[in-house]
Amino acid sequence: MFRSGWTVSEFRGIPIRVHPSLLFVLPIMAIAISGQQLTARFVGLGVPAGEILVPPMVYGIGLSVSLFGAILLHEIGHAATALRFGMPVRAITLMILGGMTEIDQDEATPKETFLVAAAGPAVNLVLGVLCILGARVLPGAWTDVMIFLVLFGGLNILIAVFNLIPSMPLDGGRMLKSVLSFRLDVSRAAQITGTIGRSLALIGGLYGLMYGEFMIVLLCVFLYFGAGADQINTSIQEALEGLEAQQAMTIQVVSIPPHSSIPSVARHMLIRDAQVALVRDVHTTYGVILAQRLNRSRAETAADLVEGEPLFAWADDPLPEVVRTMRWHDKPVIVKDRYNTPIGVVTHDDVIRAARLRILADRGLPDQVSSTESRKNEA
């Protein structure tokens, strides 16, 4: 959802992107911060009114930009730690809800996951303490720089504390889940983390409702669904274990030459009742087009709708690996048989369907104990 955006810089080869939603939220935040009777608040902090020379709007702009600076440093903390453990990092994106660092952690140990999650809030804690201490040791009366340092330090501590709430998808939730994974299996760890996350969100939401703090209510709704989504993700991943690419793929696929016009692609899909089109000619397969993406672009030919190199898997490749590749590159995977011929495509919807069927199918099986017993008998 937030994978688009402009690449503005990079950190050790990792692109740093800014999502358009950030440009929308920055001016709103600047106005909101400057409108909060800043001068009165500073006086409340013990700063004499005569010392405050900078207009509130400048504080508003400065603080909202530096908030995202603090979030960027937080994300760089995650990324740098991930790189240290040899995990691939795809991108850092700044957006309306904060930041996001895409890290492939599937091979990581619980200890490594814990450290990658802890690194973000740690950066903000250190920065926050340094700024506040720095402002206190600067000699002389209050200056705008000192006030700004204190406010920026406070923001950093706020970001750290918020992210340490033990609820997915926050860093605190990841840390809790990885600590639990030292002893328990992943699904149990996810279940406990999910229950704690949702309980905290409910308590927080009730508190927000009682005291009319609607930002807290909104945040708790976000946390409640985030905690649930992680549990669902974990159970999907578990359900895919042991399946092969060919068990999830769609075979209802039409082949389209790259120069076909979009109406022609649509017609072919309609006639064959296919959700997926393979763009290929005699020699080459160029990529996949999904029916739902057909009208989202100003493309003129099928080839225009294909982004980058296509992804391939063999029919008997393990499905969890195929899904990892698919998620990492954010596009469907073309499944080939041993003669190198495309025989189907795995899309996101196919994965969800396969996982659902697997969960339902396993319900009909005898429980774990009897299946281990039967394995023992076979041996």
**Element holding 304 (H helix, E strand):** helix 302-305
Specify the residue, 171 or 230, whose C-beta has the smaller distance to Zn ion: 171
> Which tokens go with 358?
């697997």
Integer angstrom CA distances of residue 240 from 223, 235, 236, 276, 294: 26, 9, 6, 22, 29
Specify the residue, 15 or 257, whose C-beta has the smaller distance to Zn ion: 15
Specify the residue, 120 or 310, whose C-beta has the smaller distance to Zn ion: 120
| Part of the chain binding Zn ion (CB under 5 A), chosen from 86-94, 150-158, 165-173, 240-248 | 165-173
Q: What is the DSSP letter of 278?
A: E
> Per-residue x/- mask for Zn ion, residues 120 to 159, rule CB under 5 A?
x---------------------------------------
The residue count for the chain: 379
From the CB of 124, what's the least distance to Zn ion, in Å? Answer: 9
Q: Are 256 and 289 in contact (CB under 8 A)?
A: yes
Integer angstrom CA distances of residue 318 from 122, 149, 180, 321, 323: 37, 52, 27, 6, 9
From the CB of 185, what's the least distance to Zn ion, in Å? Answer: 25
> Which tokens go with 25?
């939220």
> Which tokens go with 159?
């970001």
102 is an interface residue for Zn ion by CB under 5 A:
no
Query: Residue 57 in 3-state DSSP?
Result: helix
Specify the residue, 174 or 358, whose C-beta has the smaller distance to Zn ion: 174
> Per-residue x/- mask for Zn ion, residues 106 to 125, rule CB under 5 A?
--------------x-----
**Nearest one of 270, 259, 267 to 305, comparing CA atoms:** 259
From the CB of 112, what's the least distance to Zn ion, in Å? Answer: 15
| Part of the chain binding Zn ion (CB under 5 A), chosen from 32-40, 168-176, 279-287, 368-376 | 168-176
**Position of tokens 């905690």?**
227
From the CB of 232, what's the least distance to Zn ion, in Å? Answer: 21
| Part of the chain binding Zn ion (CB under 5 A), chosen from 6-14, 36-44, 164-172, 349-357 | 164-172
**Nearest one of 84, 75, 59, 56 to 18, comparing CA atoms:** 75
181/281 Cα distance (integer angstroms) = 48
171 is an interface residue for Zn ion by CB under 5 A:
yes
Contacting Zn ion within 246-285 (CB under 5 A)? none
From the CB of 324, what's the least distance to Zn ion, in Å? Answer: 21
Q: Which residue is nearest to Zn ion (CB)?
A: 120
Specify the residue, 122 or 299, whose C-beta has the smaller distance to Zn ion: 122
Binding site for Zn ion (CB under 5 A): 120, 171
